[in-house]
Every structure is written in structure tokens, then in C-alpha cells.
Amino acid sequence: MAVLRLSTTGLEVHCDDPLSRLAGFLDSVLRGVGQVMFQNNSYAGLLFLIGIAYNSWLFAVAVLVGTVASTLTAIVLGADRILVRSGMFGFNGGLVGVALLYFLQPVPLTWACVILAAACCTIVMAAMLAAFDIWKLPALTAPFVFISLCFFLATARFGRLETTGFLPTAGLPKAAAVEGVASASTIAEGLFNGVSQVFFQGSATTGMLFAAGLLVASRMAFAAGLAGSLAGLLVAWGMGAAEPAIRAGAFGFNSLLVAIALAGTFLTPSWAAIAYALLGAIATPFVAAAAAAALEPLGMPALTLPFVLVTWIFLLASRRFPKFRAKPTA
Amino acid sequence: MAVLRLSTTGLEVHCDDPLSRLAGFLDSVLRGVGQVMFQNNSYAGLLFLIGIAYNSWLFAVAVLVGTVASTLTAIVLGADRILVRSGMFGFNGGLVGVALLYFLQPVPLTWACVILAAACCTIVMAAMLAAFDIWKLPALTAPFVFISLCFFLATARFGRLETTGFLPTAGLPKAAAVEGVASASTIAEGLFNGVSQVFFQGSATTGMLFAAGLLVASRMAFAAGLAGSLAGLLVAWGMGAAEPAIRAGAFGFNSLLVAIALAGTFLTPSWAAIAYALLGAIATPFVAAAAAAALEPLGMPALTLPFVLVTWIFLLASRRFPKFRAKPTA
Amino acid sequence: MAVLRLSTTGLEVHCDDPLSRLAGFLDSVLRGVGQVMFQNNSYAGLLFLIGIAYNSWLFAVAVLVGTVASTLTAIVLGADRILVRSGMFGFNGGLVGVALLYFLQPVPLTWACVILAAACCTIVMAAMLAAFDIWKLPALTAPFVFISLCFFLATARFGRLETTGFLPTAGLPKAAAVEGVASASTIAEGLFNGVSQVFFQGSATTGMLFAAGLLVASRMAFAAGLAGSLAGLLVAWGMGAAEPAIRAGAFGFNSLLVAIALAGTFLTPSWAAIAYALLGAIATPFVAAAAAAALEPLGMPALTLPFVLVTWIFLLASRRFPKFRAKPTA
């Protein structure tokens, strides 16, 4: 009698012996990786992981350690089983893992911090589930943003936290001038770098592997994600953002996430929802530029804060516009 | 049979032909301008507009473009008709229009940004209506503050957004010394400049036209507004604020808005409510000074953020004090 | 017939004559001082007050003035009698009193500000009670943090507010190096300084008197408080915080408050709750370091903001973990 079965979204486990539970746990971890782009889908998670490993083994291990630590914390604390099983307590931990390894030296203390930070992600996630229940609003990657910024800011007080030098230099924001000239290669590279930046990776190939992961899970997510990354990039270009930042995908990943969230994840798909998602993806680069400038005196990156803010606002607003309906399953 | 009729607050439209709808729309826009000081009243809106035009045609056009764009967005998205009709989806857009034209160069890209920003104001407004429904708390000008600061902060990343040089210089806050000596003319000018600063205007005559608009709509709002502007000014003077800032009305407009909001707009009028509004108007300059200092490292103006914070706090608190009752119509 | 009686937590008043009401009011004030560490207990409040007076008469008077002013404001505004009687409208005012006298010169204007600020604390407290009712979440010392920061930030605009020079210098945060070597005396002094820092006092003897106050009111609070202060200190030491800051108790007081809040005040005591409180006390120094760095460009102290944030998050999250139950009386 089969107790493990592959479904269209990953592993189905129908037994409670230790081996099945381990298999179920590993499947939850892969779904956690997939949930970074809203996909409750182990195959998507696996492709995302392969995409990261293609660029850097270190970051792939960091994502796994973070996702495992936060998922385990949720199990130990007795969080809702269905949420744990669908990876909802994993994705923030996975992002914290890669963020800490990106901005802090890969020394043992940093790995210990990844485990503590990922455990804290689960607690912040549970807190936000409790707080946002009134509005039926998702927590998105807010726990990751909050916990990561805490650890990065703490480097200003804790001498044993060693940074990699990738954190922005603290300074006072000043009016930008147009830098560099965007070409066709800026657009092409920026489009896929925007996808790969969701996990802090700057590789067009990784971006393509991520896009493949999206395609496996949902054609709507694939189309919305690429269109979102492109929209963010084009708006930033039109507004005179620096060419290297555009090429690096810095204005793509937040728009990508907004577009997937609005066009097919939390709203019932419709032409109105697609137009609304496009408006969100267009507004996001402004919030991204503003958030980056607002954090400049602290020398901190904005991470996915712009995506979180724009998605919350557009989802809340959608309740007042009868054109849009919340997706029942989300 | 008359289908258009003037009521005490503006136009009444009783027909659905295109011309009546246009007249209704224009009336909604004027009410939107009036709502900046809580007046669902076209005559007040018209007098505010005349006051702005007296000082600068550019700003009058900017207010109109912003109010029209945000009201139209609300109609296209299918927002609640009664709210649209009373100008509730217009006033934040109007303020964003004048704010963007005040701090950014009047080039075509800025006008395009006004339309995008005003449209976004409507979405933030709808989001806040949905989020604050639990507390029966008004959104006030929070959408305007959030959207304006996003666009101003974005100038640090977007080279094609050109500033006018009126944004404060970014710097680290340090203890102030008493600057200048306040005279009777400081008080007299500051009082009416405080009124005109609600729309970023620095003209006592404009302030008097605004006051006339308030008087047309509500004697309580007129009296509370002037008393609020005066209270803010006197507290700032007593605490040793710089004389030029006092004269310019910088400590008046937030207190004016707090006083109108508490003394007659959201609480049932009573002596207790008037005393409570006065305490609010006295507390506001401290919050205004604090907000200005907090935004100094970003080189950003506090706009009406102090008014929003103080009014939210005092309104929420009033639910716990049986002396005060929420106004049923508000 | 006895109308005044001493109970295990303080005075019981059973009559409504003016003298009894005065006695009841003074008892409410002492409970307000006790509530700074969650103790609705006049004896604890008295011992806290003695501890402060041992170190400085000025601060003891400031705590009293602040607690009296905010409690009186609550009575005048007609706030809930049981809350007033248990000191819930006093503790934020008491903290504001000592904070303003610590960071501002003890001139008459500062004392006037203490009274205004304490009155505003009561309004912010009422606002938070109204806003947080949905989540059954306590306001903690958030009103104190918000109001104090407003007054300190306002020194950058109000020339007559004179600072003592104890406010941190505004600057841009940068990566810390390990400073100084912690010894046994660092740990011993830091442990009790961490207790005394709850009221801005830097005296191990004062810390011991505070601990005695906790012991009188609750053995659980005493044990959790000391363990929390120690946990915060040890984590900061392990992460390489500066030795003088560790010795001064800078990383102790927030963890102390988190530990008391979670281990016995707001959650039903259990081994799981104790472990959860310990995790909170361990996470708190990271948030404390982050908050201090985030406020560095403003030259502002983080006060008890880290305690407030961590406690809110852990309490909200506890609703999603069936192991923990909210304490019915809290």
C-alpha cells in the first residue's frame, strides 16, 4: 500500500511512521522555498534551490538551513499543521538564511545567528498571522525584512558580527543624477536578474531557473512575474535610475513579487485584476526608490519591504472596489 | 423640472444624463478641495481654490489636476458613490498635486507624476478605509503624506525627478538655539500664514480667503481653525522656536487641522470637546517639532503627519473617556 | 468601622470621604510606580521609589510628579476607575517624568513639560487601550517611549528646551569593534545595573532595592527579572558588545521586562512559558542593539522600545501556539 505519492504540487504523505514524517518534513521545506514566490509546490522549490546552487553552493545551504530551522521551530511550538505542511513557516526563514550569509561573513557565529533568526521568523510569522487575521491579510515576507534588518543593524553594537561589505554605506540621501545609458543588454540582463534577486542572486541563468520553477507551478505566476520584473525595470529606466542598478535587477524583484501576488495569488484572476497588478508593479519602483533612500542614513538595504507595503495596500484597497474578489483558497 | 439645484453645501444633482453627471463630478471635485479642511461643501472648496489662485495659478491648477485624477480613479475602480460624491477620494489627491508642484520642477514628467500619485492616493485611501473600519477611525491626510514622501524620497534614486530646492537639506538634528525675536507682526502674520500653509501657501491674504471658506461652511470650524493656528503658534513661541518659522505659519497648520477635527468634525460639540481640542492643538507643535527633526536625516518635510498622528490618538482615546461622543454623521 | 485596610498588595479603601479618596489616590500612585515592572502592588512601588531616592532625590520627585500628573489626568477625563486604581494610567507618566529630568535640565520649563507630557501619556494610553482591544494586547510602556522621544526630538526645534548632554550624539551607524574585556565584576554590576536601568538609574544598590520590591510582590517576577537581566547581559557579551555598556546594564533592562512580561504576567505560568520567555530575553539584545543603531542618526535613546516590540510579537505569536494560554487576569 503506497503511503508516499507524488501529486502535481509535490509529495503526499499518508502515513505517520518516522520515515514518512521525515519525507513530509523535507517536502514542507521544499514548499517553503517555493513559497518565497507564493508557490505551494515542491517542484518549484526544488528548481529555485537548483537555481541558487547553480550560482553559489553557500547560499543554497543557507536557504536550506534557514528554511529547516524555521519549519522545525514551528513544529516544536505546535503551529497549525496545514500551514507548516504548505511551507508557510519556512519561506521567511529561508530568505533570512540567504540574507545573513550575503551580508555577514560565513563564520560559525553567523550560522548560529541564522538558526536564531530563522526561529524568530517563525515567531514573527505567528504574531502577524494573529494580528492580521482581522483583515485577512497575508504576512508576506515582512518577518524576513524585520528580522534581517535587526541583525544587520545590530552589527553597529555587536563587535563579533562581521559584515561582508555588501551593506550600503550609511549616508545622507541627496538628489540623484542620471548615471549610465541603458541598452538592450541592460533590459535583457535586468529582466532575469530581477527574477534572481528575489533570493539575492545576481545571475541571469539563476533567474531563468527560477522562472522555470514558476512555470512548473503556475503559468499565471510565470507570466505575471516576468511582466512585473519588466515593468519595474522600465519604470526605473524612464525615471532616470542608475544603469548599473537597473541591470542588476534592483528595480525588478519587488515588482515581480507584487505582480504575482496581485495577478493570481490573492485576487481571483480577471482582466481587472491584471490591470490592477500592473498598476501595482508600476507604483513599486517609486516605493523601492523611496525605501532605499529612507534607509540610507542607516546603511541598510530595503530588501522586499517595498513589495510588502505595496501588496498590503493594494490588497486592502481591493476590498473597497467591487471589481476585485479575494481568492477563496488564499 | 429642475435637475440641478444649489443646496447649502453645493450642487444637488437629480438626473443621470451626461451633463448632470459632469456637473456632479465638478461639484465632487470642489467638495474634495473643501475636504482638505473637513468641509463637504463646494463653496468652501471654491473659496480655498480662489485663495490658492490668488497666490499662484500654478498651484491652483495642481490642486485641480490632483483632485480630478484621484476622484476619477475612484470612479473607474468603482468606489462607494456617496464617498466619491462628498469629495472623500479627492482631497488627498489635491494635496499631492500642490505638494509635488511645490517641491518638484513644473516639467511634464512632474505633471505625469501628479496623475500617478493622485491615482495611488485613491488606492491608499481605500486601503485605509478598509483597515481603519474596525476602529471607525478616519484616514485623514495620511495617504497624501505617505505618497508625497515616497515621491520626494525617490528623487535620491531617480535622476529625472528634478527638485525645486524647497526640500529641507538632509542633516543630523542638533539642539536648537532661540533665533530672532517674535513681535506683534509675527503673531498676526503667523496666524493667517498658518491657515494658508494647509495648502503650502505662504500668504496671509490666502489664509484669510481660506478662513472665509471655513466661515461659509461652518462657524465652529472657522473659530476652531483660527484658535488652533493661534495656539500652535503661541506654544512654539513659548518653547523658543525660530521666529521665521513661527511667522511662516510652520507651527500653525497642523494645530489648525487638529482643532477643527476634534472640536466639531469627529466629536459631538461640547465644552469638554473644545477643551480636549485645545489640549490637542497645544500638544501638536511638540509632535510637529519632533517629526521635523526625525525627518531631518532624510531631508524630508513632515507635511501634515503631526496632525494625522495627534488626531488619531485623541480620537481613539476619546472612546475611553465617557465625556466625549463620536459624531454620528462623521 | 475601618474604612482603610492594608491588603497584600496595598491599601484598600471602602469609603468615599475626601480623606479616603486622597489615601486611595496616593495608593494608586504607588501602584503606578509598581506597574513599571507589572506589579499592581503599593509595597513594590514604594520600594522602587526608595531605590530611586537612594540614588537621587531629583529622580524620585520626577517619578512622583509624572505619576501624579498622568493619574490625575485620567481621573479628570473620566477613565475606567478600576484601571486608574490599579496604577495603569500612572506608570507611563512616572517613566516620562524621570526620562525628561534625566535628559533635560531641571529648570521650571522642564517641570512644566513633565506635567504636559504625563497628561499626554494618559491620552496615548487610552488610545492604545482602544486600538489594541481587538488583539487583547497590552500597551506596555509604548506611550512613554512615544511621548519621551517627541520631547527629546523637539529639542532640535525648540530653543528653550535645554538638554543635559546625556542624549546620544547624532551620527551615522557603523560596524562596531569589540571594546574592553568583560570580567566577573562586569557581570555582577551589570546584572543589578540592568535592574536599576528600568528607571534610568545606574546603581547596583538601587537595582537590589528594585529586586526587593519585585520579591515582595511576586517570586516569579523576581526570578524572571533577574534571569532576564542576566540573559540579556550574557548574550550581549557573547556577541561582542562594548564592556562599558554591558557593565552599565544597557543590555539588561529590556530583557528583564520581557522576561517578567512573558514568564508570569501575561501568560499562564508553565515550563513552556518559561522557555518561551527565555527565548524572548535572548532575542531582546539583538532588537535593543538594532533599535539603538536605528535611532543613531537622530541622536535618540531606544528607551524601552525593544521590550515593547519583543513582548508584543511574542504575545501575539503565543495565540497561534496551543502550548501557551493568556493569563485570565491580565
Q: Between chains, do B323 and C150 touch, taking CB under 8 Å as contact?
A: no
Cβ-based contacts of B240 with chain C (< 8 Å):
158-161
- Tell me the shortest Cα–Cα distance from C60 to chain A, in angstroms: 31
Cβ-based contacts of B282 with chain C (< 8 Å):
116
Cβ-based contacts of C277 with chain A (< 8 Å):
none
Pick the residue from chain A with its C-alpha nearest to B152.
A290
- Tell me the shortest Cα–Cα distance from A125 to chain C, in angstroms: 8
| Partner residue opposite B161 with nearest CB, options A239, A245, A291 | A239
Cβ-based contacts of B182 with chain C (< 8 Å):
none
How many Å apart are CA C61 and CA B43, to the nearest integer? 55
Alpha helices in chain B (DSSP H): 18-35, 42-55, 57-76, 81-85, 91-103, 108-132, 142-154, 184-196, 204-217, 219-238, 243-247, 253-260, 271-294, 305-318
Q: Between chains, do B157 and A317 touch, taking CB under 8 Å as contact?
A: no
| Partner residue opposite C316 with nearest CB, options A77, A127, A152 | A127
Whether C126 and B316 have beta carbons less than 8 Å apart is answered as yes
Count Cβ–Cβ pairs < 8 Å, chain A vs chain C.
Answer: 120
Pick the residue from chain A with its C-alpha nearest to C251.
A157
Q: Which residues of C lie inside 8 Å of B (Cβ-Cβ)?
A: 77-80, 109, 116, 119-120, 123-131, 134, 149-163, 170-171, 297-299
Q: Between chains, do C176 and A156 touch, taking CB under 8 Å as contact?
A: yes
HSE, CB side, 13 Å, CA atoms: give it for residue C37. Answer: 41
Q: Residue A133: how many CB atoms within 10 A of its CB? A: 13
Per residue in A7-35, pLDDT tens?
A: 999 998 888 888 999 999 999 999 999 99
**Residue B50 grid coordinates:** 480662489
Q: Between chains, do C317 and A130 touch, taking CB under 8 Å as contact?
A: yes
Phi, psi of B326 (to 5 degrees): -65, 140
Q: Between chains, do A239 and B154 touch, taking CB under 8 Å as contact?
A: yes
Q: Which chains touch C (3 or more CB pairs under 8 A)?
A: A, B
What number is the ipTM of this complex?
A: 0.96
Q: Between chains, do A316 and B171 touch, taking CB under 8 Å as contact?
A: no
How many Å apart are CA C301 and CA C293, to the nearest integer? 9
How many Å apart are CA C144 and CA C122, to the nearest integer? 10
Whether A24 and A11 have beta carbons less than 8 Å apart is answered as yes
> What integer is the mean pLDDT of A92-100?
98
Of the candidates C120, C53, C63, the one whose C-alpha atom is nearest the C-alpha of residue C91 is: C63
Q: Is the pLDDT of residue C330 over 70?
A: no
Per residue in B40-60, pLDDT tens?
A: 999 999 999 999 999 999 999
Q: Which chains touch B (3 or more CB pairs under 8 A)?
A: A, C
Count Cβ–Cβ pairs < 8 Å, chain A vs chain B.
Answer: 120
Per residue in C16-49, pLDDT tens?
A: 888 999 999 999 999 999 999 999 999 999 999 9
Q: Between chains, do B151 and A287 touch, taking CB under 8 Å as contact?
A: no
Q: Is the pLDDT of residue A330 over 70?
A: no
- Tell me the shortest Cα–Cα distance from C291 to chain A, in angstroms: 8
> What integer is the mean pLDDT of C165-192?
94
Q: Between chains, do A236 and B158 touch, taking CB under 8 Å as contact?
A: yes
Q: Is the pLDDT of residue B1 over 80?
A: no
Q: Between chains, do A159 and C176 touch, taking CB under 8 Å as contact?
A: yes
What is the torsional sign of CA C193, C195, C197, C203?
Answer: negative
Per residue in B75-133, pLDDT tens?
A: 999 999 999 999 999 999 999 999 999 999 999 999 999 999 999 999 999 999 999 99
Report residue B222's pLDDT band, with 50, 70 and 90 as the boundaries.
very high
Q: Is the pLDDT of residue B329 over 70?
A: no
Q: Between chains, do C172 and A78 touch, taking CB under 8 Å as contact?
A: no
Report residue C15's pLDDT band, with 50, 70 and 90 as the boundaries.
confident
Exposed/middle/buried for residue B245 (C-beta within 10 Å: 0-12, 13-18, 19+):
middle
Cβ-based contacts of A159 with chain C (< 8 Å):
176-179, 239-242
Q: Which of A134, A243, A286 to mutate to test the interface with B (most CBs of B within 10 A)?
A: A286
How confident is the prediction for chain B on average, in pLDDT? 96
HSE, CB side, 13 Å, CA atoms: give it for residue A108. Answer: 0
Pick the residue from chain A with its C-alpha nearest to B172.
A172
Per residue in A213-231, pLDDT tens?
A: 999 999 999 999 999 999 9
| Amino acid letter for position B217 | A
Q: Is the pLDDT of residue C1 over 60?
A: no
Of the candidates C55, C98, C40, the one whose C-alpha atom is nearest the C-alpha of residue C216 is: C40
How many Å apart are CA C169 and CA B14, to the nearest integer? 64
How far CA B328 is from CA of B91, B92, B265, B325, in Å, comes to 22, 23, 10, 9
> What integer is the mean pLDDT of B11-27?
90
Q: Poorest-confidence range of A267-281, A316-330, C122-136?
A: A316-330
Whether B98 and B144 have beta carbons less than 8 Å apart is answered as no
| Partner residue opposite B150 with nearest CB, options A287, A318, A321 | A287
Whether B260 and B221 have beta carbons less than 8 Å apart is answered as yes
Q: Does domain A172-330 have CATH number 1.10.3430.10?
A: yes
Q: Between chains, do A150 and C321 touch, taking CB under 8 Å as contact?
A: no
- Which of the following CATH numbers is that of domain B14-167: 1.10.10.10, 1.10.3430.10, 3.30.2320.80, 3.90.550.10? 1.10.3430.10
| Partner residue opposite B283 with nearest CB, options C120, C131, C160 | C120
| Amino acid letter for position C194 | G
Cβ-based contacts of C323 with chain A (< 8 Å):
77-78
Of the candidates B302, B282, B284, B281, the one whose C-alpha atom is nearest the C-alpha of residue B293 is: B302
The answer to whether the C14-167 and C172-330 domains have the same CATH topology is yes
Indicate the helix (H) or strand (E) that contains C23. helix C18-35
Cβ-based contacts of C149 with chain B (< 8 Å):
290
Cβ-based contacts of C238 with chain A (< 8 Å):
160
| Partner residue opposite C320 with nearest CB, options A130, A149, A163 | A130
Q: Between chains, do A130 and C321 touch, taking CB under 8 Å as contact?
A: no
How many Å apart are CA B118 and CA B95, to the nearest integer? 9
Cβ-based contacts of B318 with chain C (< 8 Å):
126
Indicate the helix (H) or strand (E) that contains C6. strand C4-6
Pick the residue from chain B with its C-alpha nearest to C155.
B175
Whether B186 and B247 have beta carbons less than 8 Å apart is answered as yes
Cβ-based contacts of B298 with chain A (< 8 Å):
172-173, 293-294, 296-297
Domain ranges of chain A: 14-167, 172-330
| Amino acid letter for position B9 | T
Task: Please list, residue by residue across C143-182, b when 16 or more beta carbons sit within 10 angstroms of its beta carbon and e when fewer do.
Answer: bbbbbbbbbbbbbbbbbbbbeeeebeebebbeebeeeeeb
Q: Between chains, do C176 and A170 touch, taking CB under 8 Å as contact?
A: no
How far CA B295 is from CA of B9, B292, B311, C297, in Å, comes to 38, 5, 20, 10
Of the candidates B317, A41, A156, A309, the one whose C-alpha atom is nearest the C-alpha of residue C292 is: A156
Question: What is the C-alpha end-to-end distance of chain B, expressed in Å?
Answer: 33
Task: Please list, residue by residue across B16-38, b when 16 or more beta carbons sit within 10 angstroms of its beta carbon and e when fewer do.
Answer: eeeeeeebbbbbbbbbbbbbbbb
- Tell me the shortest Cα–Cα distance from A143 to chain B, in angstroms: 20
Q: Between chains, do C316 and A126 touch, taking CB under 8 Å as contact?
A: yes
Whether C285 and C239 have beta carbons less than 8 Å apart is answered as yes
- Tell me the shortest Cα–Cα distance from C323 to chain B, in angstroms: 29
Whether A190 and A233 have beta carbons less than 8 Å apart is answered as yes
Q: Between chains, do A154 and C289 touch, taking CB under 8 Å as contact?
A: yes
Q: Poorest-confidence range of A85-94, A173-182, C55-64, C220-229?
A: A173-182
> What integer is the mean pLDDT of B321-329?
86
Q: What is the pLDDT, as a whole number, of residue C327?
A: 85
Q: What is the pLDDT, as a whole number, of residue C264?
A: 84
Cβ-based contacts of C297 with chain B (< 8 Å):
172, 297
Q: What is the pLDDT, as a whole number, of residue B14?
A: 83
> What integer is the mean pLDDT of B232-239?
98
Report residue A329's pLDDT band, with 50, 70 and 90 as the boundaries.
low
Q: Which chains touch A (3 or more CB pairs under 8 A)?
A: B, C
Cβ-based contacts of C318 with chain A (< 8 Å):
126
Q: Between chains, do C283 and A131 touch, taking CB under 8 Å as contact?
A: no
Q: What is the pLDDT, as a whole number, of residue C106?
A: 97
How many Å apart are CA B141 and CA A235, to the nearest integer? 27
| Amino acid letter for position B150 | C
Rounded CA Rg of chain A: 19
The strand pair at B10-13 and C4-6 is best described as unpaired
Count Cβ–Cβ pairs < 8 Å, chain B vs chain C.
Answer: 120
| Amino acid letter for position A261 | A
Per residue in A166-182, pLDDT tens?
A: 999 999 999 999 989 99
Q: What is the pLDDT, as a whole number, of residue A197?
A: 97
Cβ-based contacts of B301 with chain C (< 8 Å):
none
**Residue C109 grid coordinates:** 520649563
